[in-house]
Amino acid sequence: MTKPRTHQFDTLTLHAGSAPDPATGARATPIYQSASFVFPDSDHAAALFNMERGGHVYSRISNPTCAALEERVAALEGGVGAIATASGQAALHLAIATLQGAGTHIVASRALYGGSHNLMAYTLPRFGIETTFVDPRDLDAWRAAIRPQTRMFFGETLGNPGLDVLDVPAVAALAHEHGLPLVVDSTFTTPWLMRPFDHGADIVVHSATKFLSGHGVVIGGVVVDGGCFDWDGGAARGKFATLTEPYAGFHDMVFSEESTTAAFLLRARREGLRDFGACMAPFTAFQVLQGIETLPLRMARHVANARRIVAFLREHPLVASVGYPELPDHPDHALAQRLLPRGCGAVFSFDLAGTRAQGRRFIEGLTLFSHLANVGDAKSLVIHPASTTHFRMTADDLARAGIREGTIRLSIGLEDPDDLIEDLSRALHAAGKA
Amino acid sequence: MRVDVGGRVVYAYTGARAPRAGQPDVVLVHGAANDHSVWSLQSRYVAHHGRNAYAVDLPGHGRSAGPAVTSVDALAGWLADFMAAAGIGRATLVGHSLGSLAALAAAARAPDRVAALALLGTAVPMPVSEALLDAARADDHVAFELINGWSFSAGAKLRGNRQPGVWMTGNAMRLMERTAPGVLYADLAACNDYAGGLAAAGGVRCPVLLVQGARDIMAPPANARALAAALHDVRSVMLPDCGHAMMSEAPDAVLDALRAFLPVSQAGA
């Protein structure tokens, strides 16, 4: 049978969403550093405002550089479109605020980035949105947590920091059975390691600050619409009024009728970007685009380096355990082999066998690894989650998220792996003497 | 809006504005495995500029109940039934691809009820490749992939959506994937089997607009020459660097072509 040829992933990382600039011939995507865009005439202006024509009006709502990035990430994820946001947190907030309001509920994995946990556990309740956190591996717990007010399932493709692998197909199937979308944070995996829509997820959010941009120089986020979820069909009927009922804030638009496939994205842009305003700056979009151009090359190196470091740490006497799903003793080993055939990323945690003081000495003994709160940089990074990213969590919550006092999180960069191993080796030696 | 046609629910998107008595009516008819949403920009413009827009979901598509109609002549009859059910006496018909054939046949069948005809991405005849028909008959996903591969011009496969942030080919794929098994084959077979196009063209009494993509390989412009010759009041717009999926690829150019043409239809109404 004739099989059509489509552009492959590596080609899309370079070309999706952008072409040589028609006005100047510039080959790189220009930074359209303009707050607003001139209307050719009054009729055109009115048509843009009323969504009769496509185009840009004001850079809070859309911008050509950001649009190039949005198309590119949507293409790489296999979605229908995307919205670039001011940060990964803004992307998650935009997804939630577009789908639900006061009186609703989320079921979320409890293996989350501390910032996402803060938003759901402490801040959203003030706006009437409650979250039940569940063991991501326990499907019965997901099911039992569902309430009539539940509007989404949320989890990370690779949980932070223990690398719990989310069983996206199983959790998505359960969500769909109850008329709920599965929203996943795919920051640790990027579309190079996993395309969550291929496994049943409905909305993907990214912190573009991490591997997508890859160089630790910008704060940004992306929310991507898979375009498959039927917002007013089956068990979802009646749950998503923001998409299926007339919206007085846009001439009684019914988003699900306006766009069969991208109703979520439409509301997120027309309401969420318009009113909450957490848009991405064009310069940021340019830098994320630059980063994505080398995403396949970088991710392959990140993963190869991480494997070397994992192998080294596993053999070291001062290391009690290493949590990396490619290891046979990781609880998600089999799942990772199925969902993450290219690898399990470059962020992982290990537990020092020693005291808390030895942990501190270890981190302070590193020279190539930078002690800071970020991951997914080209440079290698290290942090102690219990005292930093997850410090607001109670001891019980920490334990449930797989974090101990001695847990160290590494983000493996693109340096020569032998140099990284030497750096770790020296710091472990210093810790051993502390 | 929803109306009952032959005991089945039919949905038509009216550009988020209820039809008003006394305004000219414009019915927009989508192509194979599509629905009303392919016309979202154009239908909103029509509805907010003094006309009533009805971007209809054909049976078995979008929000209209099935089954799909299996021939162009039957679709033409169905369009007349829809217009009657919606209280539309006379309308301008705007059709894309399969929808253009249905509109053409409807205009020939009831000339007094069609004020004007805009045929986008049309060809007469409209043969469908065996490979595509085979894949569609088998409900193989490859059929959607072939359509996507052939419907967008080379540049548009990679970039350039006028609607910010929407990935055109991904969006088109998801829309097609929503159709029930068998619908795409019914649509494509209706195109492939329709032999009455030139005869229908001879029976059309109203002004006709042809809008074609210079890079359309699903309905190549050359395949509409005989149709143009058979129509007695026809004008053509050629969209440069545009493929078959013209409402996505060149929404402004499509709208501009319609804007220039609709007053002609009104004059004839």
Name the token pair of B35.
């629905």
Q: Which of residues 25-84 of A touch B (CB under 8 A)?
A: 47, 50-56, 61-64, 66-68, 70-71, 74-75, 78-84
Nearest CA-CA partner of B42 in B266, B235, B256: B256
B224: helix, coil or strand? Answer: helix
* Strand order from edge to edge, sheet including A104-109: A81-85, A221-225, A203-207, A182-185, A150-156, A104-109, A129-134
How much of chain B is in helix, strand and coil states, percent to nearest 5? 45, 15, 40
Instruction: Work out the end-to-end distance of chain A between its first and last CA atoms, rounded to an integer number of angstroms.
Output: 67
Q: Yes or no: say if A429 and A422 are a contact pair by the CB < 8 Å rule.
A: no
- Kind of pairing between the strands at B8-13 and B25-29: unpaired
Phi, psi torsion values for B87, nearest 5 degrees = 75, 25
Q: At what angle do helices A64-77 and A282-292 cross, to 10 degrees?
A: 30
Q: Which residue has the tokens 């004839």?
A: B268
Q: Is the pLDDT of residue B130 over 80?
A: yes
For residue A241, pLDDT over 50 is answered with yes
Restricting to A residues 256-315, those with a Cβ less than 8 Å away from any Cβ of B are 257-262, 265, 269
Cα separation, A187 vs A202, in Å, equals 15
8 Å CB contact between A80 and A74:
yes
Q: What is the mean pLDDT of chain A?
A: 95
Tokens linked to B31: 């192509």
Closest alpha carbon to B107 in B86, B70, B77: B77
Please report residues of A whose CB lies closer than 8 A to that of B174. 80, 226-228, 261
- For residue B268, name the pLDDT band (cuts at 50, 70, 90): very low
The answer to whether A289 and A309 are in contact (CB under 8 A) is: no
Going by C-alpha positions, the residue among B207, B47, B238, B237 that lies closest to residue B117 is: B207
User: Cβ of A61: how many Cβ atoms within 10 Å?
Assistant: 18
* pLDDT tens-digit series, residues B8-65: 999 999 999 999 999 999 999 999 999 999 999 999 999 999 999 999 999 999 999 9
Give the 3-state secondary structure of chain A.
CCCCCCCCHHHHHHHCCCCCCCCCCCCCCCCCCCCECCCCCHHHHHHHHCCCCCCCCECCCCCHHHHHHHHHHHHHHCCCEEEEECCHHHHHHHHHHHHCCCCEEEEEECCCCHHHHHHHHHHHHHHCEEEEEECCCCHHHHHHHCCCCEEEEEEECECCCCCCECCHHHHHHHHHHCCCCEEEECCCCHHHHCCHHHHCCCEEEEECCCCCCCCCCCCCEEEEECCCCCCCCHHHCCCCHHHHCCEHHHCCECHHHHCCCCHHHHHHHHHHHHHHCCECCHHHHHHHHHHHCCHHHHHHHHHHHHHHHHHHHHHCCCEEEEECCCCCCCCCHHHHHHHCCCCCCCEEEEEECCCHHHHHHHHHHCCCCEECCCCCCCCCEEECHHHCCCCCCCHHHHHHCCCCCCEEEEECCCCCHHHHHHHHHHHHHHHHHC
**Could you give the CA distance from residue A256 to residue A244 in angstroms, rounded to a whole number?**
5
Contact A186, A113 (CB under 8 A): no
The whole-number pLDDT of residue A1 equals 58
ipTM for the assembly: 0.96
Residue A410's DSSP bridge partners are: A348, A382
Strand ranges, E, within B203-263: 208-213, 234-239
Angle between helices A295-315 and A417-433 (to 10 degrees): 30
- For residue A341, say if its preceding peptide bond is cis, omega within 30 degrees of 0: no
pLDDT score for B161: 85
Strands (DSSP E) contained in B14-156 are: 25-29, 52-56, 91-96, 114-120
The pLDDT of B108-137, averaged and rounded, is: 97
How distant, in Å, are the alpha carbons of A82, A252, B10, B60, B125 from that of A255? Answer: 16, 9, 19, 21, 37
Quote the CA–CA distance of B111 and B76 in Å, as a whole number. 12
Give A20-31 pLDDT, tens digit per residue.
998 899 999 999
The predicted structure's pLDDT at residue B32: 98
More confidently predicted of A114 and B243: B243
What average pLDDT score do residues B114-142 get? 97
Is the preceding peptide bond at A196 cis, omega within 30 degrees of 0? no
Query: Quick one: closest CA in A to B169, which residue?
Result: A80
DSSP per-residue codes, B119-143:
EES--SS----HHHHHHHHTT-THH
A319-323 and A150-156 strand pairing:
unpaired
Backbone φ/ψ region at A163: left (φ over 0), alpha (ψ -120 to 50), beta: left
Tell me what pLDDT residue B265 has: 59
Is the pLDDT higher at A162 or at B175?
A: B175
Over the stretch B60-94, which tens digit does the pLDDT of each residue have?
999 999 899 999 999 999 999 999 999 999 999 99
Contacts of B255 in chain A (CB under 8 A): 47, 52-53
At position A128, the amino acid (one-letter code) is G
**Cβ-defined contact of A254 to B170 (cutoff 8 Å):** no
Considering only alpha carbons, which residue of chain B is nearest residue A16?
Answer: B158
**Contacting residues of B for A83, CB less than 8 Å apart:** 165
- Give the least confident one: A88-102, A284-298, B128-142, B145-159: B145-159
What mean pLDDT is predicted for residues A394-422? 88
Contacts of A185 (CB under 8 A, 6+ apart): A88, A92, A112, A113, A116, A154, A155, A156, A157, A204, A205, A206, A207
Give B-chain residues touching A262 at CB under 8 angstroms.
166, 171
**Closest residue by Cα to residue B51 from B22, B73, B75, B79:** B22
Over residues B222-241, the mean pLDDT reads 97
Q: Do A15 and B159 count as a contact with CB atoms less than 8 A apart? A: yes
Per-residue pLDDT of A1-23, as tens digits, reads: 567 788 999 999 999 999 899 88
B267 confidence band (pLDDT: 50, 70, 90): low
What was the pLDDT predicted at A2? 64
- Asked if A80 and B148 come within 8 Å (Cβ–Cβ), the reply is no
Residue B178: closest C-alpha in chain A: A228
Rounded Cα–Cα distance for residues A321 and A350 (Å)? 6
What whole-number distance in Å separates Cα of residue A301 and Cα of residue A309?
12
Q: pLDDT tens for residues A176-208?
A: 999 999 999 999 999 999 999 999 999 999 999
Residue A3 sits at the chain B interface (C-beta within 8 Å):
yes
pTM assigned to the model: 0.96
Q: Is the pLDDT of residue B269 over 50?
A: no
Q: So what's the pLDDT on residue B266? A: 59
Calpha distance A73→A209 (Å, rounded):
14
- Partners of A79 on chain B (C-beta within 8 Å) are 167, 170
CA dihedral of residues B113, B117, B123, B128 (deg, nearest 10) = -60
For residue range A358-387, list pLDDT tens digits in order.
888 899 999 999 999 899 999 999 998 877
Residue B237 pLDDT exceeds 90: yes
Query: Which of A37, A71, A259, A270 to probe by mutation at the B interface, max B CB count within 10 Å?
Result: A71
